[in-house]
Amino acid sequence: MLRLDGVSVRFGGLAALTDVSFEVAKGEILGLVGPNGAGKTTLFNTISGLVKPRGRIVFDGRDVTSKALHQRARVGIGRTFQIPQPMHQLTVRENLEVAQVFGAGALEPARIDEILAVMELSHKADADAATALALQELKRLEIAKALAIRPRVLLLDEVLAGLESRAKRLFMLKLKELHALYGLTIVVVEHDIETISNLCSRAVVLDFGRLIADGTPEEVFRNPDVVKSYTGGTH
């Protein structure tokens, strides 16, 4: 479904990503793991079209490396941002409408109604998105905007960050529901080991912009290189 071939990104003298290669299978839930500054968000920015890399990004057999942001959205690459970014002075519904027109090229009111219901936001559909939503609702709105474009792969950047334990568990169940309901391929950035272990069948680990591990969550979190990248130690 999604393949990265030798993806590298530099910001001036800083190597943010170096020769990163891996594949994501159709229908997979993949965890993208690594310490702060490892390059995870840069990788998402590269896949979604915000940053141009060296190397190749192939989606569903099509080279999208040179495609613009809206073109990648329209072939089925959706994403969220670590810090929720509702469009100010617009209602929740209008946020979805803008995202849908940009990412899908046309407005589908029935699809928006469905997503509002699935994401438990119908009761806030006409509320101001920037002022009337709690943190958990803002995170659901981020996902709803991404779903509005009919994505086939969904890139989730720390959507569980800042939530307490019970809210995290409920959010994980929601992600599993979306995965089954829409047949999504999901790549999720998350620091919490328990979350990755419960949600993902596989994880890849970045450290200083390089891929250092790829395997099941159990294999990855026992990998000495991964342990060292998080703790500086060997246990």
Q: How many helices (H) and strands (E) does the chain have?
A: 9, 10
Residue 137 belongs to what H/E stretch? helix 135-147
Q: What is the pLDDT of residues 158-197, one digit of tens each?
A: 988 888 888 888 999 999 999 999 999 999 998 888 889 9
Q: Residues spanned by CATH 3.40.50.300 within the chain?
A: 2-76+151-231
pLDDT at 162: 85
**Residue 2 CB neighbours (<10 A):** 23
- Span 65-92, average pLDDT: 92
pLDDT score for 230? 80
Residue 233 has a pLDDT of 54
pTM, two decimals, is 0.92
Give the model's pLDDT for residue 165: 87
Q: Kindly tell me if the per-residue pLDDT of 76 is higher than 60.
A: yes
Where in 115-218 does DSSP place strands (E)? 153-157, 185-189, 202-207, 210-215
In whole angstroms, what is the distance from residue 155 CA to residue 47 CA?
Answer: 9
Beta bridge partners of 110: none
Q: What is the CATH number of domain 2-76+151-231?
A: 3.40.50.300
Q: What pLDDT band is residue 124 in, cutting at 50, 70 and 90?
A: very high
pLDDT, position 232 = 67
Q: Look at residue 235 in the predicted model and tell me its pLDDT.
A: 45
In sign, the C-alpha dihedral spanning 94, 103, 50, 173 is positive
Cα separation, 204 vs 50, in Å, equals 21
